[in-house]
Amino acid sequence: MKILLLSLVLVAVCDAQLSLLNELTQLAGQWETMYMAASNIEKLSENSPFRGYMRRIDVDLPRRRILFNFFIKQNGECKEKLVTGTVGLNQMIRVDYEGTNDFQVVRITPNIMLGYDVNVDEEGRTTDLVLLAGTYAHQVDEEAVKRFKELVRQRNIPEENIVNHQTAELIFKCSDITNNKAVHNFSTYQ
């Protein structure tokens, strides 16, 4: 009887991990940052390392790694960033970028990705960030924005700290670079 019970528990744990990994495969592809919010608004100010333009995410399931490809604009120049995250057992994606980051995908569909990040920078300061991204061919709808604002409130981030990346002021998007660059993937960086 104990063996049967242990087998059921093992199946349930493995099934939960497979479900997570299957969900993470939906991350693969081209994404565009639509909205961001941060508990420390300086992290999203001009020339800051988190005021970025998401370009692409690649998923390496066997190694439990995620490759984030994005651009930031500093001093008027677009700089490409390639950052690798590791998928942990706790469903968090651990990323070393401007400190330590634990990124959690809250909702993923073929058209939108909603998630939050807890960043602990080199000085030990903690900042909560919330991200809403859409695919290039899809603008986010009112329901997605509503869910984003809900998550912003849950993470105790003031609504005035929301940055709309769809506004004209922020549409730098490094488009001349992204349109002419080859797509990066794990085979390039092994």
Q: What is the pLDDT of residues 158-185, one digit of tens each?
A: 999 999 987 634 445 565 454 444 444 4
**C-alpha closest to that of 127 among 142, 113, 117, 140:** 117
b/e sequence 51-89, b meaning 16+ C-beta within 10 Å: bbbbbbbbbbeeebbbbbbbbbbeeeebeeeeebbebee
Residue reference for tokens 């809403």:
132
- Single pTM value for the model: 0.80
- Edge-to-edge order in the sheet of strand 93-96: 29-30, 52-60, 65-74, 77-87, 93-96, 100-108, 112-120, 126-134, 32-38, 162-164
Instruction: List the single range of 140-149, 154-163, 181-190 with lowest mean pLDDT.
Output: 181-190
Please give the pLDDT value at position 19: 54
Domain CATH for 84 = 2.40.128.20
Q: In the chain, how many domains are there?
A: 1
Q: How far apart are CA 155 and CA 189, in angstroms?
A: 34
Mean pLDDT, rounded, for 15-25: 59
Average pLDDT, the chain: 81
The one-character DSSP state at 186 is G
Residue 144: which domain range? 2-189
Between residues 54 and 161, the one the model is more confident about? 161
SS3 80: strand
DSSP string, 152-181: HHHTT--GGGEEETTSGGGTTTTHHHHHHS
Mean pLDDT, rounded, for 22-30: 86
Please give the pLDDT value at position 57: 95
Q: How far apart are CA 10 and CA 89, in angstroms?
A: 14
Please give the pLDDT value at position 8: 46
Instruction: List the single range of 70-74, 146-150, 173-177 with lowest mean pLDDT.
Output: 173-177
Mean pLDDT, rounded, for 133-152: 88
